[in-house]
Amino acid sequence: MTLGQNPAEDAAENTQEDFLRQLRQTFAQFSNEIPLYLFSEKGKGDDVYVEATRQVIRVFRNLTSKITVKEYTLDHELAKKWKVDSSPTLLIDPDRYNIRWVGAPIGEEGRSFLEAMILIGLGKSNVSDQSRSVLERIDAARNVKIFVSPTCPYCPQQVVNGLKAAIERPEIVFLEIIDIQCRPDLAEKYNAHSVPQAYANETLIGQGAQQEEVFMFSMHKLDVQTLFIPESTDKLVKTDVVIVGGGPAGLSAGIYTVRSGLKTALIERDALGGQVALTPVVENYPGFMQVGGKTLVDIMVQHTLEHVQIYQGEEVLEIKPGETFELQTTRRKFHTKTVLLATGATHRHLGVSGEKRLSGRGVSYCSTCDGPLFKAKKVIIVGGGNSAVTEALHLRHIGVDVTLVHRRDKLRAQDVLANQLNENGIEVLWNTQVHEIKGKERVQAVILKNNRTGESSEMAVDGVFVAIGYIPAVELAKKTGLELNPEGYIRHDGYHRTNIAGIYSAGDVEGGYKQIVIATGQGAAAAMTIFEDLINPYWKKEQAC
Ligand code: NAP
């Protein structure tokens, strides 16, 4: 069949022609030369990956004269100068950038290569303003490795993130794109069994393709981040509601206040999600049979971010009551009609000798965070509530040798959880209290005391996990003059109104059942009270009487 006789073939040809025309138009705008340097091992110039790389380059060179290419072997001076020791390695404009492909940019990676040519040819990183502000905060080198494969459709997104960073901050971002098929040894070394996988300074920063800002933030923090909260530079924020605390109560309150038409700001000094973010697995939040605490938090935060500006990493120092409340944080001022305190609760400490000194050196309050460090080691977990049992099970599942130490002969935890201790062969020391935690640099042993017999014993352990409940975070409430109940929680009227008109409370800081579903419900209820009170302020009625 000759050309013109098959409509499907003609359409494909036309589409390809259109695409090439568009590419030529884009390439015609290139202001920069793009010098490429291809390195291969001596005597292996006909290697399949080297040849594939040449072919890709040839395709692009047919479209623009701005791309030049030089080939060298690994024993050349330039290979030493640019520290190239793997074949093939392709360097892109190495006098301006630190970008190298280890392997061939073929298959799906052709898309990444095209993006690299466009960004470098146009001399633009194309990063978003938010990404740029994160990149500006990085003050030390980042050696980024992104593992990819030619058949991975998600990889180009992550590679483009790396390219943008390397073009925006060429003096500190050193990017290596590594094809796991070409370098299985490196994939093995970095455990990159699924791609894309990104490392910065030998630390995992991303598994799977990340949103651009999340990638930049992970590279900045040298840790896998799952969220990016845009930063504000405003010195004064005027709003209807300020929510203090970004746990489930505060997050759900924010969704409700905004949907009631109230301008809302949420301030969180630490990590969003409160205690939930540290809970290994949640099995009783409706709609989720089983979900990681952090995953649940991420979903809640994403939802809240749709509505509310979140100010994370700043602390409310003072609340000045008045017609309008004035809040001073570590970064700015807020003027607001109402304040909702959803400050939650913090870990209760054992208060025994050695606990404070060895905190972070074997004493931990977060099994989700620190558990993996104790794999195949021996630890105790102290407590008898839902937290202690859930965390004991988590530790056991990740391969930690864990014993539960409880001060009574009956657990406070729900039966369904308590039964699993037995099923998982977790030993429980009943009627036992920790008397002392011993160790020089790190935890080495605990002194245990039996409450019934009064007997003391020493047990060699590598870690002590403490899960003995929480104490309400009421410092700010006390400073502002809010009344507390005899248990030390914020006193409220059943509708979340505190003793100061215009200030409300919700969640664990109010005491009662500490359940995620209850905290979210309280947040919603407090938001609805705020809405009703702003329409019909009860404090004005009181003044009028
Ligand atoms: P909790 O229920 O208050 O239990 C605290 C445990 O620590 C109790 O067993 C208590 O012993 C023990 N304890 C307290 N002070 C102690 C001390 N100085 N020395 C030794 N042991 C001490 O606290 P939690 O387990 O952290 O749970 C807090 C809330 O979160 C609860 O409402 C819980 O239901 C909820 N939560 C729910 C889930 C879930 O549903 N999946 C998971 C985690 C937490 P006694 O029993 O002798 O008082």
Mean pLDDT by groups of 10 residues along the chain of 545 residues? 55 75 90 96 83 94 94 96 95 97 94 95 94 96 96 92 98 96 90 89 93 95 90 92 98 97 96 87 90 92 93 94 93 97 94 93 86 92 96 95 97 94 96 97 96 97 95 96 96 97 97 91 98 89 63
Q: How far is the CA of 175 from the centre of ligand 1 (A)?
A: 47
pLDDT at 542: 67
**Ligand 1 lined by 472 (C-beta under 6 Å):** no
From the list 75, 185, 223, 369, the catalytic residue is: 369
Backbone φ, ψ for residue 472 (5° rounding): -65, 145
In ligand 1, the atom with minimum distance to the C-alpha of 417 is 41
pLDDT of residue 179: 94
Q: Which helix (H) or strand (E) holds 197?
A: strand 197-200
Q: Which residue's CA is minimally distant from atom 7 of ligand 1?
A: 468
Determine the pLDDT at residue 10: 66
Cβ of 385 closer than 6 Å to ligand 1, yes or no, is: yes
Phi, psi of 66 (to 5 degrees): -70, -20
Is the beta carbon of 293 within 6 A of some atom in ligand 1?
no
* Fold of the domain built from segment(s) 20-221: Glutaredoxin (3.40.30)
Minimal-distance CA residue to ligand 1 atom 41: 282
Q: Indicate if 370 belongs to the active site.
A: yes
Q: Please, where in the chain does CATH 3.40.30.80 lie?
A: 20-221
Q: Is the CB of 410 under 6 A from ligand 1?
A: no
Of 300, 208, 314, the C-alpha closest to 517 is 300
Per the residue annotation, which of 47, 270, 298, 366 is the catalytic one?
A: 366
**C-alpha radius of gyration, the chain, whole number:** 29
Evaluate: CB of 451 within 6 angstroms of ligand 1. no
The confidence score (pLDDT) of residue 191 equals: 83
533 has catalytic annotation: no
Instruction: Say if ligand 1 is within 6 A of residue 284 CB.
Output: yes
| Closest ligand 1 atom number to CA of residue 281 | 41
The CATH number fitting domain 238-278+317-343+472-544, selected from 2.60.40.10, 3.50.50.60, 3.40.50.300, 3.40.50.1820? 3.50.50.60
Pocket-testing residue among 278, 514, 518, ligand 1, by greatest number of atoms within 8 A of Cβ: 514
Ligand 1: residue of 386, 433, 437 to mutate (most ligand atoms within 8 A of CB) is: 386
Q: Burial code of 148-172, b = ≥16 C-beta within 10 A, e = fewer? A: bbbebeebbbbbbbbbbbbbbbbeb
- CA 350 from centre of chain: 29
Using the atom order of ligand 1, give the atom closest to the CA of residue 388: 25
- What is the second-level CATH architecture of the domain 363-468? 3-Layer(bba) Sandwich (3.50)
Q: How far is Cα 187 from Cα 311, in angstroms, rounded to an integer?
A: 39
Q: Where are the alpha helices (DSSP H) in 193-263?
A: 212-221, 248-259
Residue 280, ligand 1, Cβ within 6 A: no
Q: Which atom of ligand 1 is nearest to the CA of 384?
A: 9
**Peptide bond preceding 150: is omega within 30 degrees of 0, i.e. cis?**
no
3-class DSSP state for residue 428?
A: strand
Q: Are 194 and 204 in contact (CB under 8 A)?
A: no
Check: CB of residue 50 under 8 Å from CB of residue 142. no
Which of 456, 486, 527, 494 has its CA nearest to residue 304?
527
Residue ranges matching CATH 3.50.50.60 in the chain: 238-278+317-343+472-544, 363-468
Determine contact, residues 443/461, Cβ cutoff 8 Å. Answer: yes
With the C-alpha atoms ordered 186, 189, 190, 195, is the resulting torsion angle positive or negative?
Answer: positive
For the entire predicted model, the pTM comes to: 0.72
Tokens of 230: 């845009």
Q: How far is the CA of 293 from the centre of ligand 1 (A)?
A: 17
Ligand 1 neighbour 390 (Cβ under 6 A): yes
Shortest CA distance to 516 belongs to which of 223, 285, 294? 285
